[in-house]
Amino acid sequence: MTQTSINYGKVLYELSIPREAVEASRRILEEVKELSGVLESPVVTLDEKERAVERIFPQEMKNFLCVVCKYAHAALLPEIFQAYQDYYNEQHKILTADLHCVAPPTEEQLEGIRKFLLKKYQMQDAKIRIIKDESLVGGFLIRTRDQEFDYSLKGRINALQQKLIWR
């Protein structure tokens, strides 16, 4: 993610545009791939891009999107929306984490993991995305921010191998 995307994401948050309008705009761009091509194209004039934005996007997002197009940063829109989401989560103390596991965890296990993450990072809420990964053999692996907590059998076997190699 570029610094430009991060800056635009923060500005989008600071504009206090309703979250629903931002989400709707993100969905429109994801679902209509041709629209991204039009907004990114150097061949399409700024006036034509602005007319497309006026007709398609929610009212609250129009000025922001026109500025992004004006400075030829429309190709960064997916990153901008991701930066907006990251900044939103940071401001609302919401942690996002990926839980890699062989079998889906029980509600009790998931709640334990959530409590661990909330305490460790001093957050108010945690969004945990569950990813099935059979290569772990057993246990689980948590990835969040720049950290990884490996409680998998694969990780333990690898650690044991490293200890044996260094003897």
- Note the pLDDT tens digit of each residue in 64-119: 999 999 999 999 999 999 999 999 999 999 999 999 999 999 999 999 999 999 99
CA angle 45, 47, 69 (to 5 degrees): 75
Q: Contact 125/93 with Cβ under 8 angstroms?
A: yes
Looking at residue 92, what DSSP letter applies? T
- Residue 35 CB partners (closer than 8 Å, separation 6+): 28, 29, 52, 56
Given a contact cutoff of 8 angstroms between Cβ atoms, the answer to whether 151 and 137 are in contact is: no
Query: Are 81 and 159 in the same domain?
Result: no
Question: Containing domain of residue 18, as a range?
Answer: 3-89
The answer to whether the predicted template modeling score (pTM) of the entire model surpasses 0.75 is: yes
Does 85 lie in the same domain as 44? yes
Last residue of a domain, which of 89, 111, 126? 89
